[in-house]
């Protein structure tokens, strides 16, 4: 990125910069091609409609879906809400039971909780220490009145990739709809909604070098035909499931971004995972008491979530100023609750407070990785030197046996 | 979040990091907080004839927690036991310009001071 040279961006799982090629594709749709895709009687409208239709085809073909199965939204949060609330309400007569898991994004867990308040039942599956659900538990959780299983493709905090095809097969065999929040995976992992038996899939542009504020929901039209109760009413856009004027520049940008991701996927994947591995190796060579969070054998190439025992995450971030990363410690919020994802995986609250998520991307360089490793190492060493916990650990005291006061 | 200059200064140049001999009869040790809450402070004072002649800390916690304990040791040195126990968390909040979500850091520091002094006093009573 061409930002301040001192700043290093390693928070690509939070959001990505817009690729210049994407921005270029979008620009005409802010000005010269300003039409509303719903305007049927002039060229401006036709051009806008043509552009969104072409975008629909690009996105659909990247998922092995049909263009008419893609509905544009304002982002993955809306897509998840539309999928979950839309299915629950449309199929309420069939049943009011849904299944998800404890490490899902809040954009899945919160609509599920909202449904619970309305009398629906939700089974939240536990995950193991790598962030995986037990497929037998999933099978056993499916009931006569289950209408939807929602399990993410890849986790935003730890990068663990769920076995989506196996999950899709279970749902398909049991006649239950399967929604996957693929926000972190779209453009990075190969997705085939037919082969994977996915009925609904959420994606977002800004996680794949597209703009913020635009996303999509894939909704299967055949075998089975999935129907949704809309959330928004007002014009019947997107075949009635999502009213509202289409964000034409955003949609054009999202399609361009996805197209570039698909064309450059193998190179990006290889290069980014090599950089990620380099970061991990450099940290492990200099620091003891590290633990990697997530499934090391099956995680996103960009993702590295590490707990640095005996140092607190927020103080680490402060020491690593100039490096943009995320902390699993929520000391910044009033709740003092650390990451619920790490907690669900059985990571102790102490280690959850000590965790940092590094996420790399298309524009990350080896120099940036080296600099980030260097700063992380010096910060952890400095903070460990002033950590009473590290001192106790060196003295051989088992911190788990200490009786701590409360505050 | 934005940190005050004083918090940053204490974080970057912490005063009095280290440990005193916790077995020594003139040293009082206070350890407060818990790892699962994201804050543990260890604060130690060395006392001679009712005056704090040395103070050290080690802290696991956010920058504000580190700054609160660092500031506390700075303030403690040279104070009498009586003056030390009069230090209130609000004094620390004010000095470091801590935002509301970080007030608990100052509370921990006050608790650590009290605990360290009470540890010292109990050692004296046992002699």
CB contact under 8 A, B11 and A315: yes
Question: For A318, which of B17, B37, B63 is closest by C-beta distance?
Answer: B63
- Surface of A (296-325) touching B: CB under 8 A: 310-315, 318-319
B15, closest residue in chain A (CA to CA):
A386
B17, closest residue in chain A (CA to CA):
A386
Strand partners, A396: none
Question: For A331, which of B11, B14, B38 is closest by C-beta distance?
Answer: B38
B62, closest residue in chain A (CA to CA):
A315
Query: Measuring CA to CA, which residue among B117, A209, A231, A403 is closest to residue A217?
Result: A231
What is the pLDDT, as a whole number, of residue A334? 46
Domain with CATH 3.90.1150.10 in chain A: 265-392
In angstroms, rounded to a whole number, what is the distance separating the alpha carbons of residues A268 and A136?
Answer: 35
Query: Cα angle vertex B43, ends B42, B47, to 5°?
Result: 145
Calculate what percentage of chain A has a pLDDT beyond 90.
Answer: 89
- 8 Å CB contact between A312 and B38: yes
The sheet carrying A303-308 orders its strands as A290-293, A303-308, A355-359, A326-327
DSSP string for residues in A69-135: GEEEESSHHHHHHHHHHHHHHHTTTT--EEEEETTS-HHHHHHHHHHHHTT-EEEEE---TTSPPPH
The rounded average pLDDT for each run of 10 residues, N- to C-terminus, in chain A (407 residues) is 71 96 98 95 96 98 98 98 98 98 96 98 98 98 98 97 98 98 98 98 98 98 96 91 96 98 97 98 97 96 96 92 82 64 92 93 97 96 96 89 72
Sign of CA dihedral B76, B80, B83, B88: positive
What is the pLDDT, as a whole number, of residue B127? 64
ipTM field: 0.93
Query: Measuring CA to CA, which residue among B16, B80, B24 is closest to residue B42?
Result: B16
Residue A311 Cα, gap to closest chain B Cα (Å): 6
Query: Measuring CA to CA, which residue among A86, A85, A74, A75 is closest to residue A226?
Result: A86
Sign of CA dihedral B20, B40, B82, B8: positive
- Surface of A (367-396) touching B: CB under 8 A: 385-391
Residue A312 Cα, gap to closest chain B Cα (Å): 5
What is the pLDDT, as a whole number, of residue A350? 86
Structure token digits, residue A271: 């290069």
CB contact under 8 A, B40 and A407: no
Q: How many CB pairs under 8 A join A and B?
A: 96
- Mean pLDDT rounded to a whole number for chain B: 94
The CA distances from residue B79 to A263, A385, B65, B75, B84, in Å, are 69, 27, 22, 7, 6
Backbone angles phi, psi at A307, to 5 degrees: -100, 125
Q: Is B107 on the interface with A (CB under 8 A)?
A: yes
Question: For A407, which of B17, B37, B100 is closest by C-beta distance?
Answer: B37
Backbone angles phi, psi at A79, to 5 degrees: -60, -45
Q: Is B19 on the interface with A (CB under 8 A)?
A: yes
* CATH topology assigned to domain A265-392: 3.90.1150
Calculate what percentage of chain B has a pLDDT beyond 90.
Answer: 89
Backbone angles phi, psi at B46, to 5 degrees: -110, 125
Question: For B36, which of A311, A314, A350 is closest by C-beta distance?
Answer: A350
The sheet carrying B51-60 orders its strands as B27-34, B39-48, B51-60
Query: B30 pLDDT exceeds 90?
Result: yes
Structure token digits, residue A14: 């939070």
Considering the domain delimited by A20-263, tell me its CATH architecture.
Answer: 3-Layer(aba) Sandwich (3.40)
Q: Is A171 an active-site residue?
A: no
Specify whether domain B5-121 bears CATH 3.90.1010.10. Answer: yes
């Amino acid at each position: 990125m061409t930002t301040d040279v001192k700043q290093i961006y390693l928070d690509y799982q939070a959001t990505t910069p817009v690729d210049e090629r994407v921005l270029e594709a979008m620009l005409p749709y802010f000005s010269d091609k300003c039409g509303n895709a719903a305007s049927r009687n002039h060229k401006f409208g036709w051009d806008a409609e043509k552009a969104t239709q072409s975008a629909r085809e690009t996105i659909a073909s990247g998922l092995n879906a049909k263009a008419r199965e893609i509905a544009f939204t304002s982002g993955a949060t809306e897509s998840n809400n539309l999928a979950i609330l839309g299915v629950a309400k449309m199929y309420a007569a069939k049943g009011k039971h849904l299944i998800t898991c404890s490490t899902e994004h809040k954009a899945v867990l919160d609509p599920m909780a909202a449904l619970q308040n309305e009398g629906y039942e939700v089974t939240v599956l536990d995950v193991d220490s790598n962030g995986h659900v037990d497929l037998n538990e999933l099978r056993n959780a499916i009931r006569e009145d289950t209408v939807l299983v929602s399990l993410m493709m890849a986790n935003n905090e730890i990068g663990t990739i769920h076995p989506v095809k196996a999950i899709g097969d279970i749902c398909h065999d049991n006649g239950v709809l399967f929604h996957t929040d693929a926000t972190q995976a779209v453009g990075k992992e190969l997705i085939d909604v037919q082969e994977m038996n996915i009925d609904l899939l959420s994606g977002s542009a800004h996680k794949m070098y597209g703009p913020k504020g635009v996303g999509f929901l894939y909704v299967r039209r055949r075998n089975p035909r999935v129907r949704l109760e809309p959330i928004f009413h007002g014009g019947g856009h997107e075949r009635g499931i999502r009213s509202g004027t289409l964000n034409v520049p955003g949609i054009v940008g999202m399609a361009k971004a996805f197209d570039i991701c698909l064309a450059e996927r193998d190179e990006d994947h290889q290069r980014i995972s090599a950089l990620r591995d380099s970061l991990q190796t450099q940290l492990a060579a200099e620091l003891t008491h590290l633990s990697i969070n997530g499934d090391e054998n099956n995680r996103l190439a960009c993702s590295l979530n590490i707990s640095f025992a005996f140092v607190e995450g927020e103080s680490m971030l402060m020491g690593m100023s100039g490096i943009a990363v995320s902390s699993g410690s929520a000391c910044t919020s009033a709740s003092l609750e650390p990451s619920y994802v790490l907690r669900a995986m059985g990571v102790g609250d102490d280690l959850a407070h000590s965790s940092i998520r590094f996420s790399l991307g298309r524009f990350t360089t080896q120099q940036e990785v080296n600099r980030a490793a260097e700063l992380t190492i010096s910060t952890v060493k400095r903070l460990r030197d002033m950590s009473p916990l590290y001192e106790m650990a060196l003295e051989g005291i088992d911190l788990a046996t200490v009786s701590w006061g409360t505050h | 979040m934005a940190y005050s200059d004083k918090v940053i200064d204490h974080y970057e140049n912490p005063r009095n990091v280290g440990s005193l001999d916790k077995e020594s009869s003139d040293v009082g040790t206070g350890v407060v907080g818990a790892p699962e809450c994201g804050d543990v402070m260890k604060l130690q004072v060395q006392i001679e004839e009712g005056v704090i002649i040395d103070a050290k800390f080690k802290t696991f916690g956010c920058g504000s927690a580190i700054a609160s304990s660092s500031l506390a040791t700075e303030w403690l040195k040279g104070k009498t036991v009586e003056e030390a126990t009069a230090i209130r968390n609000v004094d620390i909040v004010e000095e470091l310009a801590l935002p509301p979500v970080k007030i608990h850091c100052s509370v921990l520091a006050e608790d650590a001071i009290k605990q360290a002094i009470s540890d010292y006093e109990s050692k004296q009573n046992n002699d």
